[in-house]
Structure 1
Amino acid sequence: MSTAPQFPNETLVEIFEHAAKADLVALCVTSRLIGGLATRLLYRTIDLRSLAQLAALVDAMAPAECALCRHVRMFRLGPRVPRSQQVGNWLAALLPRFHLLAALRLHHHAPDFDESLWFGNLRLFGGIAGPTNSTSLPSFLNRHLTLRCLTLRKGLVGQPPWDSAVLHLPNLHEYIGDSSFLPSLDEASVHGVRILEVSTAGGETDWEAALARFGPLDYVGAESVRDIAATCAIVASICPRVKEVALSSRLRVAELRDVADALKGYRALRTLSCDVSSTCVGTADDLATVQTLAAACPTLRCVVGHDRVWVRRAMGWEMFDKDWSRK
């Protein structure tokens, strides 16, 4: 690294962005210049996967004059960080200090958001709506008109959605979450959504009513649907120009001919994902099934099954094992 000072800072940052976390830690102690650049990248994304990591972060940022907070752009709590009053207190102390935060993923945590908490450039939020934040969370979201991606889940099984809360997010581009929150999005919010993925685990979804509110969608996904063929047909009737559809079901897949018939309604579908049990007959893991689906929808170029991915090439369909590391 003896030649590093000869490069502009912007070039060094570009190089350091490809370094692993451990390498960034090592770079922090090489020199004041390189250490400053590496520290900025080291704290840009904070991905905490245990309670011990969260406790260490709290200690590192405890000093009131700590400058590390200004580097944080993405803050994520993993599923292994337990919910507790202590964790809630730590979040209440940490989050207001991340003034330049752009992405906040809280997984299964449902803190009560202070009325003064605001980030000027928040683009992504992921969390749950639970009994402890059923009032403060809608207010928090509505203060962030910059939000483009929203992931929202219910905190408890059987928990009813908000009774009267309305979300006004005019720049929203992507919604991922429980279908029960869709009515909370006002017309300005749904108008710009192009990516929609919902879970119907909490009950049946009126797909026709839900999809009719949205503009042209590029991607429609649904978890735990009861009838893949029927859902495919509804999506095709309302969003015939959608480019990607992803459906998962814990039940036996519908008759292959019904799914193929539903695909005839699509005009620009490129990718179809049908994630069902691999023990089902006629799943998307089978080449004959893929060929039948492709015959019904000539624009289809990729079919994703439970364990396999089929891609159409010039010489025919080519199979790959699904990369579960990207799930």
Structure 2
Amino acid sequence: MTQHVNEFIQQGLRVLDIERAGIDDITPSINQDFAQACELMLNCRGRVVVTGMGKSGHIGNKIAATLASTGTPAFFMHPGEASHGDLGMITATDVVLAMSNSGETSEVISIVPVIKRLGVTLISMTGNPQSTLARAADVHINVAVQTEACPLGLAPTASTTAALVMGDALAVALLHARGFTADDFALSHPGGSLGRRLLLRVSDIMHEGERLPKVRHDAIIKDALLEISRKGLGMTAVVDDNDVLLGIFTDGDLRRILDQQVDVHTTSIASVMTARCITAKPEMLAAEALKLMEDKKINGLVVVNKQQCPVGAFNMHDLLRAGVI
């Protein structure tokens, strides 16, 4: 294997250079045709139906998935199956995005007359503006590249990268036009860690009510330690007579005062607590709270309402259990 290392690296770098150049080749295609295609998909009352054969089909499948997850209803239709009944999935309110590098793929061309007869808007994405598919479309997006990364010029490489990038450009342009938000994205991705990170709020994971560690400002350190032990969060909130948060006392604070030989039986918690502590709001995203804790290098947060009264608390273990970390 050692004798091929340099060759592997050189070939890998060559491919990246060619595919990077392919993206440069399609940059001029972000033009009025691109904008018109976006308008047609944005105003579509149905769904965007993406179709393509072979490698173009694989890219089309991914583009359809990206559109669907970013606010544009879309699905992929295999052109080979379309002629055997799947064309029934297309309605007059849909928009078809047909992909073919040559623009002459027979399976795709064969369904164009039916698409036209249904009165469905057709957008084509090809590498040949003079092709049959390009000329039949209402709007054509040119994704022609000068060179394929495959040295034989046979395997679609730079051309499929260009088509994929153009599909991403369409999806993101539409996302922006729709005002699509992270919350919208989370609603279509409720499963897995991504959904948890985007959907979970601090209010979903915090300890509240009787589980909230809290002591009054005139309590002695011993009482605070008992509260920390009972609630198991490694900290306690310290409040005034009106239940407004004054500060926080943590395991770290305990180690500090023990080094100072403070008497835990007589010293008030208010004299050793950390005042003006970092807090969270119930509506804050759990992922935001995690970043705040990482930035401030702290292991827990007290959650306060608009009146600055503690309503909850949580620590890193709660974020871990919730799948946010």
- Fold equivalence (TM over 0.5): no
| TM superposition score normalised by structure 2 | 0.25
Bigger radius of gyration among the two? 2
Counting helix residues as a fraction of each chain, which structure ranks higher? Answer: 2
| TM superposition score normalised by structure 1 | 0.24
